[in-house]
Amino acid sequence: MGKETLKVVILGDGAVGKTSLRNQFVHKRFAMAYKATIGSDFASKEVETQDGRKVSMQIWDTAGQERFQSLGVAFYRGTDVCILVYDVTKPESVTNLLKWMTDFIRQADIPNPDSFPFVVVGNKVDVSNRAVSKRQGQEIAPPTPPTPFTPTHSPHSLPLFEVSAKTGTRVDDIFAYIAHNKTAAKQTEQLYNPTISP
């Protein structure tokens, strides 16, 4: 059996730390200077799962177009897993995740949104001025569903990782979780039965 490749997209408001998360995971690097990413692109990294399977993670980052809301079909097409990132110092970045999720489901043309593997990430837990509790992060549910595509079981049941792209805390866990669950799911046809807990 050939090596599996997963296309992973990272979505969320500008400056929540999407590029930093990817750099921390792929290059083990962090830069405090803020540069809007130029041109959407992907970087790959191989992960070995607990049961010894090699998974190549193709991680797509936005080009800073998140400021203009939509990223376009090419960015989303063929996505296996979507990471939704908020900033624990910015409550509005949590509420905006619903918009990102809805846009993703529409643009990526996800046939079965209810079972699509989203992973929620609360970034910047190293800071002292935290404004979003873990509980609040888990409540990404809208008061009223804005579109017919809004997952019914979610967002309450979406896995949530609280991380720091700066210190690296729990960053690898996100991708280990994805590699393990998503690829195991592909084999059993049973989507997302988490065995690595967030």
Contact positions vs ligand GDP (CB under 6 A): 14-20, 32, 34, 37, 123-124, 126-127, 164-166
Q: What is the separation of C-alpha 3 from the centre of its chain, rounded to a whole number of angstroms?
A: 22
Residue 180 contact, options Mg ion, ligand GDP, none, Cβ 5-8 Å cut-off depending on partner type:
none
Of 6, 10, 17, 19, the one binding Mg ion by CB under 5 A: 19
Binding partner of residue 15 among ligand GDP, Mg ion, none, CB under 5 to 8 Å per kind? ligand GDP
Asked if 65 is part of the footprint of Mg ion (rule: CB under 5 A), the reply reads no
Dig out the tokens for 120 from the structure: 């929620």
Please give the radius of gyration of the chain, using alpha carbons only, rounded to the nearest integer: 16
- Residues with Cβ within 8 Å of residue 76, at least 6 apart in sequence: 9, 104, 107, 108
What is the end-to-end Cα distance of the chain in Å, rounded?
Answer: 29
Residue 144: HSE in the Cβ half-sphere, 13 Å Cα cutoff: 1
Give me the helix-helix angle, 18-27 and 171-188, nearest 10°.
80
Nearest CB to ligand GDP, comparing residues 96 and 183: 96
- Residue 164, binding choice from ligand GDP, Mg ion, none, Cβ under 5 to 8 Å by partner class: ligand GDP
Euclidean distance between CA atoms 198 and 187, whole angstroms:
22
Of 16 and 88, CB closest to Mg ion: 16
Q: Which position has the token pair 């046809």?
A: 189
- Nearer to ligand GDP among residue 126 and residue 172 (C-beta): 126
Question: 7, 26, 37, 126: which one contacts Mg ion (CB under 5 A)?
Answer: 37
Between 53 and 130, whose beta carbon lies closer to ligand GDP?
A: 130
Query: Does 93 sit near Mg ion (CB under 5 A)?
Result: no
Footprint of Mg ion (CB under 5 A): 18-19, 37
